[in-house]
Amino acid sequence: MGLLSGKATCNTHGQDSSYFLGWQEYEKNPYDEVQNPTGIIQMGLAENQLSFDLLESWLARNPDAAGFKRDGQSIFRELALFQDYHGLPAFKKALVEFMSEIRGNKVTFDTSKIVLTAGATSANETLMFCLAEPGEAFLLPTPYYPGFDRDLKWRTGVEIVPIQCTSLNGFQITETAIEEAYQLAQKRHLKVKGVLVTNPSNPLGTTMSRNELNLLVNIITEKNIHLISDEIYSGTVFSSPGFVSIMEILKDRNCENTQVWNRVHIVYSLSKDLGLPGFRVGAIYSNDDMVVAAATKMSSFGLVSSQTQYLLSALLSDKKFTQNYISENKKRLKQRHRKLVSGLEKAGISCLKSNAGLFCWVDMRHLLRSNTFEAEMELWKKIVYDVKLNISPGSSCHCTEPGWFRVCFANMSEDTLKLSMQRLKAFVDSITTTLHNQSNHQSIKNSRRRSLTKWVFRLSFDDRVTGER
């Protein structure tokens, strides 16, 4: 072991989180409708598989793009040779236009301020390297995506300090919660370099309100710190209220010529909106030229392939396709979301009202043996091993309240979702029956105890009357 680095031998990657452990159990026994119908159904993976047919249809209609041709002539050699890490201009142009389109064209983006990365994971880590030193901190509202413990901390040495949000107000960010997190960081002797939020939220499936976004701008202005807005789910908003990008807030507040303009950074990816996590396409957008320059240099460690950029530049440049895709994908997400919520309701389970994302934040507090995280883990293990559903417990998302779970709905067929809800309902019914029987048994015991007490009291009274003992 002495021959290896501390990074190679440490356990700070976060792989021991229940979020990742659930994946491991799924991989040992994955559900398959034909080959393994009693296996574990993966409901812990936020993938969008609902609109593949639209993408595949476009590919069939555009064989040149898929075959790496231009005007019928192969450009394979051109794409196979070295491309610098600034990215293909045509792709960067198509990407920023797509980002604007998702935001209703209320804001525009400059290709000179975007840095391509191998997914949002790489984008977030790169920003940590650019904005903070090892041992400095970013504030994150809870609950947050479990992967951030790996993405933001593992290699950078940056610390995370939670902004504790609760169900009392639907887990919205408050000024008090931010200030408490800031004070906690100071008590731990951590210099706070910024706040990172996901909008729409993973795992809540909700969009941030204008009040919250304005609060964040006020905070970073007052504290002289950065704000990272991870907007990877911006194209998955399927019902009101609509999505408001932090860039729109800055525009509304006329921040273009202020210092705060350079301290707000956006992370984006095509992994969720287009359902292409395997393509590894992410991006950093920053108004700070030094951040863009440094991030561009760092991007050489995680480039997007030229073939991928060429294919997607053609796809995203087809405005008729992108308009139809965005609209249809939202409709399908809304329909699938409704089916999950309906299935949960039939099982006697509610969830946080949501309007975005590929998951629901599900309330199972009433199924806990006690109001503890130990009871949450006990329930989670039953759901994974007995019910055969892999869902993510709230504790893996650093939720402060036991009994919340993230349940994904867009990475499976409708039939598989239906089966998962049947399994869950049967499990809840069994728990309800058990609790009912225990309650009846306890009532009988209490009734017998009351009868015995009355009998003893009567006997004692008779003894006093007759003088007997």
Q: In the chain, helix, strand, coil percent, each to 5?
A: 50, 15, 35
Let me know: does 123 contact 282? Beta carbons within 8 Å. Answer: yes
Does 249 qualify as catalytic in the annotation? no
C-beta of residue 281 within 8 angstroms of C-beta of residue 119: yes
Q: Examine the residue annotation and report whether 232 is marked as an active-site residue of this protein.
A: yes
User: What is the Cβ-side half-sphere exposure of residue 447, based on CA atoms within 13 angstroms?
Assistant: 6
Q: How far apart are the C-alpha atoms of 122 and 282, rounded to whole Å?
A: 8
Distance of CA 147 to the CA centre of its chain: 9
Helix axes 306-316 and 89-102, enclosed angle (nearest 10): 50
- Amino acid code (one letter) for 228: I
> Is position 145 annotated as part of the catalytic site?
yes
Measured CA to CA in angstroms, residue 424 lies from 5, 21, 141, 178, 428 at distances of: 45, 20, 29, 37, 6
Report how far residue 391's alpha carbon sits from residue 40's, in angstroms, rounded to the nearest whole number.
10
Residues 289 and 112: their CA atoms lie apart, in Å, by: 9
Query: How far is Cα 383 from Cα 402, in angstroms, rounded to an integer?
Result: 15
Q: Which of 40, 173, 220, 232 is catalytic?
A: 232
Long-range contacts of residues 65-73, Cβ cutoff 8 Å, at least 24 apart: 65/310, 65/311, 65/314, 65/315, 66/311, 68/307, 68/310, 68/311
d(CA 408, CA 427): 18
Q: Pick the catalytic residue: 26, 31, 145, 182?
A: 145
Q: Which residue out of 92, 272, 330, 388 is catalytically annotated?
A: 272
Catalytic position from the list 230, 273, 288, 363: 230
Contact status, residue 100 vs residue 78, Cβ threshold 8 Å? no
153 is catalytic: no
Q: Contacts by 162-165 with C-beta closer than 8 Å and gap 24+?
A: 162/398, 163/139, 163/195, 164/400, 165/141, 165/400
- On the CB side of 204, CA atoms within 13 Å amount to 24
How many other CB atoms are there within 10 angstroms of residue 173's CB atom?
25
Q: Name which of 117, 165, 156, 150 is nearest 137 in CA terms.
A: 156
Tokens 């053609």 locate to: 314
Main-chain phi, psi angles of 233, to 5 degrees: -100, 15
Q: Is the peptide bond before 200 cis (omega within 30 degrees of 0)?
A: yes
Q: Looking at the annotation, which residues are catalytic?
A: 145, 230, 232, 272
